């Protein structure tokens, strides 16, 4: 759920990850209130722009985030009861120290915590060093190692204000191209079209392309995607800037088996992991895991 800004114009943004969220009323249940809350605060609004090639399930409703998909995450962080939020903290070690968790990171001193919740992609949990390596039991290790993800690249193309992109759709699923799976005129998809703000285009690659070029030189991959894009949309104008984003862990193909949205690795002190690796890679999956983690933490307290 990341939104990238143009280096030339902060108002020109593109969602390089999740494009929209889908409410399936059939399975909504307690999740419905989450959508209603986000819609009532203007964080989400119905997707009204035409999306070619979208498989629409009867009764489902798609929503976009007018301020970019990261505004959904920011909304929840703001709700988090005055918690301090620190970005760009790369955790490397988790160890037990005097009944607490000592968490070390790439830069800065280690810190101690009563409870640690991990929601990074599952392979990154398995890369952590320290006591956590011996705390994860054999059964859990097998469950975690069985989680698999698709990989893909996303390209963000940012344009100067006044640029016109003449296509009849807001987004399009592409079939038959070995490289490109999805294209979105991102501002049009979010229903934000203004002469003062330059448009932006998002391109998602196929999963096959993503895994084939996963460890290739990003500049070469960018060129390759652009050459395919020219075949699909030959009339596209020259962008002012381009961002190439690699998602090594894009969407969960196989979630951790026999888990109800979370896994407790240690009870005293509590070390718990959650996230889409324990459910599935959609907004509902995130909500389910979050509710499951919150329940486990609450009963622990």
Tens of pLDDT along 9-59?
999 999 999 999 999 887 788 899 999 999 999 999 999 999 999 988 888
Q: Which of 114, 78, 90, 94 is nearest to 300 (CA)?
A: 114
What confidence score (pLDDT) does residue 136 get? 97
Tens of pLDDT along 182-224?
999 999 999 988 889 999 999 999 999 999 999 999 999 999 9
Helix (H, G, I), strand (E, B) or coil at 71: helix
What confidence score (pLDDT) does residue 174 get? 97
Q: Which of 220, 212, 223, 222 is nearest to 178 (CA)?
A: 212
Specify the pairing of strand 3-5 against strand 13-15: antiparallel
pLDDT band at 80 (very low <50, low <70, confident <90, very high): confident
Report d(CA 112, CA 100) in Å as an integer: 6
């Amino acid at each position: 759920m990341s939104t990238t800004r143009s280096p030339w114009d902060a108002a020109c943004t593109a969602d390089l990850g999740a494009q929209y969220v889908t409410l399936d009323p059939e399975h909504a249940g307690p999740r419905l209130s989450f959508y209603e809350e986000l819609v009532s605060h203007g964080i989400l609004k119905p997707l009204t722009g035409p999306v070619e090639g979208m498989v629409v399930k009867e009764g489902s409703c798609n929503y976009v985030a007018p301020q970019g998909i990261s505004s959904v995450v920011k909304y929840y962080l703001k709700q988090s009861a005055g918690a301090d939020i620190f970005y760009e903290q790369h955790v490397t070690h988790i160890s037990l120290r005097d009944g607490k968790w000592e968490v070390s990171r790439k830069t800065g001193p280690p810190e101690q915590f009563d409870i640690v919740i991990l929601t990074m992609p599952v392979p990154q949990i398995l890369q952590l060093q320290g006591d956590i390596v011996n705390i994860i039991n054999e059964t859990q290790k097998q469950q975690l190692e069985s989680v698999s993800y698709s990989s893909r690249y996303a390209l963000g193309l940012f344009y100067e204000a006044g640029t016109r992109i003449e296509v009849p759709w807001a987004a399009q699923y592409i079939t038959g191209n070995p490289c490109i799976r999805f294209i979105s005129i991102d501002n049009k998809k979010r229903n934000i079209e203004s002469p003062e703000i330059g448009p932006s285009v998002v391109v998602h690659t196929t999963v096959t392309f993503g895994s084939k070029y996963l460890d290739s030189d990003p500049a070469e991959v960018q060129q390759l995607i652009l050459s395919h894009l020219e075949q699909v949309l030959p009339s596209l104008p020259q962008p002012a800037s381009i961002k190439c984003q690699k998602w090594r862990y894009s969407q969960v193909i196989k979630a951790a088996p026999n888990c109800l949205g979370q896994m407790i690795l240690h009870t005293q002190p509590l070390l718990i992991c959650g996230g889409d690796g324990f459910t599935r890679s959609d907004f509902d999956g995130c909500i389910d895991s979050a509710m499951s983690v919150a329940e486990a933490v609450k009963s622990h307290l």
